[in-house]
Structure 1
Amino acid sequence: MYRHILALQQVSRRSISSAARRRLENKVPEKQRAFQEDNGMPVHLKGGGSDALLYRTTMALTVLGAGYVVYELVMAAYPQKKD
């Protein structure tokens, strides 16, 4: 049992220490500048076209869902007559 734990420790140490590091540019400062500038836009739309598309989709689904709930409530309030 102890031998298995030691083997697991070696494997985990080896995979972490030998991992190749990716050189990525840090984009956080430019994103902070874009989101903090005062241009009159709400924060949830400052991300660009994809944010606007997500916002519109969410609002459309919300309106459709609310309409469906009202429809179902009306149908439950006035049940169909059974012949």
Structure 2
Amino acid sequence: MFQHLSLQQLSSRSISSSARRQVDNMVKEKQKLFQADNGIPVHLKGGAKDAILYRATMALTVFGSGFVVYELLNAAMPKKA
């Protein structure tokens, strides 16, 4: 019984004494940003980071597709021994 109470006190003490950060609710600002009718596609409205991620994804997709076609052609026409 004593161990149960001490464990309960220890757990509640560590949680309640932890430092709490105040986090601002940014949902309204993000909604305004993404719903604005400014001609920018939604996947690029996040800024420069979104543009870099988009370009990297497209580059990897094009490279991967080309590599798959190369390997398929290589497997379809094996070298003669």
- Shorter-chain TM band: 0.7 to 0.9
RMSD: 1.8
Higher alpha-carbon deviation: 57-66 or 40-49: 40-49
CA distance in 2, matches of 1:62, 1:33: 31
> Residue by residue, what CA displacement relative to the aligned partner does 1:3-60 show, whole Å, maximum 9, x if unpaired?
6555443332112111222123332221111011111211110000110000000000
In the alignment, residue 60 of structure 1 is paired with which amino acid? A
Question: For residue 44 of structure 1, what is the aligned residue in structure 2?
Answer: 43
What TM-score comes out, normalization by structure 1 length?
A: 0.82
In the alignment, residue 30 of structure 1 is paired with which amino acid? E
1:3 and 1:68, CA in 2 relative to 1: closer, same or farther beyond 3 A?
A: farther
SS of 1:76's equivalent in the other structure is helix
Higher alpha-carbon deviation: 45-54 or 20-29: 20-29
**Mapped pair 1:76 → 2:65:** no
CA distance in 2, matches of 1:12, 1:45: 44
What TM-score comes out, normalization by structure 2 length?
A: 0.84
Question: For residue 58 of structure 2, what is the aligned residue in structure 1?
Answer: 59
Stretches of structure 1 that go unaligned for 5 or more consecutive residues are none
CA distance in 1, matches of 2:19, 2:30: 26
1:8 and 1:69, CA in 2 relative to 1: closer, same or farther beyond 3 A?
A: farther
Question: For residue 16 of structure 1, what is the aligned residue in structure 2?
Answer: 15
Q: Percent identity?
A: 64
